[in-house]
Structure 1
Amino acid sequence: MTEERVKAYEELKNSPFLLIPDWKLPFKLYIDACGEGLGAALHQTQIINDKPVEGPICLISRQIKQKEARYGASQMECLCLVWALEKLHYHLDGTVFDVITYCNAVNSFLNMKNTHKNMLRWQIAIQEYRGNMTIVHKFGNIHKHLDGLSRWALANTPENPAWVPQEEHHIEGICVTNIGKEFLNQVVESYKMDKNCHILCQILMTDCKDPSLSSKLDEI
């Protein structure tokens, strides 16, 4: 066997591999976001060949949606956390885990006050993990594999298990009707003739200052 083949064989043995989750052990959730996409990696440290080895269990990514492109860096990182928890809920529900991030804003996310409405909604969405989740702020090269996930994220399409549907608000139809003046007058007069509507209009016009009007309405 040539030296080149031996080297290739050794590299193959050391290539990354996915671990089978051990529900008795804690997890580590790495998250990263950028202007192109979101990435998350679920890791766990297990004993392999009598040595502790940290390896990935699941890797997910998706490109950001059109409206998310307007988010700032801190908001994007918090979005990434919420998205990752939603997509990896099956693994993380009821378990103890650390969230590893380089963004300090995520570290205080759960306790933010006077936040944007999106942030407030996200805070509520992840309350179930409070107590089991510890957010750890770390710098350095530990996020290298996340850079690849977020910067070359999978398309946000149904073929991607981690996709999120785009919010679409379609106008189903517009109907414009010209109401004849004679018919409109009939509608107005019919409201005046109706005892209930007549009393309600009086209450609204007098700002409910006359208690006798309200008593009349109760008797109807």
Structure 2
Amino acid sequence: MTLCRRLLINTIIHECHDSIYSGHLSADRKLVKVKNCAWWPSWRKETIEYCHTCDRCQKANRSTGKKFRLMIHIQEPKSPWEVIQMDWVTELPPSGDKSYNTCLVIVDRYRKTPIFLPCHKDDTAMDTALVLWSRVISHTVILKNIIIDRDTKFTSALWTNLHRLFGTKLSFSTEYHPQTDVLAERMIQNLEDMIRRFCAYGLEFKDSDGFAHDWCTLIPALELEYKTSVHSSTGQTPAMLEKGCNERLPVDTPWKDLIDINPTASSFKIILDKVKYHAKKIQVELSGELENKHPTLPVSLIKPYQPADKELFPLRNPAPLTVPPVEQDEDKKIKKFIKERRLRGKNQREYLVRYRNPVHEYEWPAESKIPDSDKLLRRFRHERRPQAWICL
């Protein structure tokens, strides 16, 4: 075990969580990687805080919730690649030289080892069978059971007869019940989240126009990251269960400025002193356009945002919190100004306006209550201005 200096803490956590080889996965998995690299006081607390305050993770992660349902028991395999689960990630943007728009996800139920294969949405049953043969069957053994959904490729006569010759059993999930294929579904969610973090919110993978659709180049690194991450059901990484050791990643390279732990070091007490930093709370001021909106908020779409501590993690540059522009409702947009009047005893004007929606066709609002009316008011006052006539 090695003792880490304060200057390298951010670099180590950044490589374990934010790099392409880390995939922005959960804090539990990152604790294992940080623990294998170095140690410092309060390393667990700072790693968890770093993961929970990640800007990309908070924006890209899906909202999950527990649902009550009956337990579906699937017989667990007794050897690797005996039972697999398959499913597709569809509706992906075209990527690669062959314009792949779908990703086939294959999971080994014994070691939780994933295989991500880019393919096309219109692939036939024969194309899928060839991919399965080249990447799974040719490197392992004949499969005993395949858990799949009721896709037309899987229910075709070619696919059924082909696996009948090999002695492979096809277990189809109940229609509209994805709980049967929950391992593949969860793997698909993780893959979609990792692609979304690097393609939608990762500026290093975007082109000059702000688009990043080349997700095929990320698949090998994302597959390697999942194989080297601890699975909750096994307590080990799929690579450890498959090869007896984890794959070597860039974060595993020795750091030059690390110090070997010495129990008699005189400065050990100074290193153990904890410095507490309080994150600054940012309060966003609402603009005047929000005053005309209904005060009800969609509570189901709100989730807490945890800002990162700039002093604790100086290498992070989170996106600034901004208020999205609020457009005026279509039914309250002004179509035309008709008349103008001044209130008695008050330095205030009211205008007879006509709205686009016939339900609120005419109204006398005050000038201060009319948003975005400068252009229409200038046109209205220009039309009412007396014209100068020149007589020749």
TM-score, length of structure 1 as denominator length: 0.36
TM-score normalised per structure 2: 0.23
Which of the pair is proportionally richer in strand? 1
Higher relative contact order (CA 8 A, sep 6+): 1
Bigger helix fraction: 1
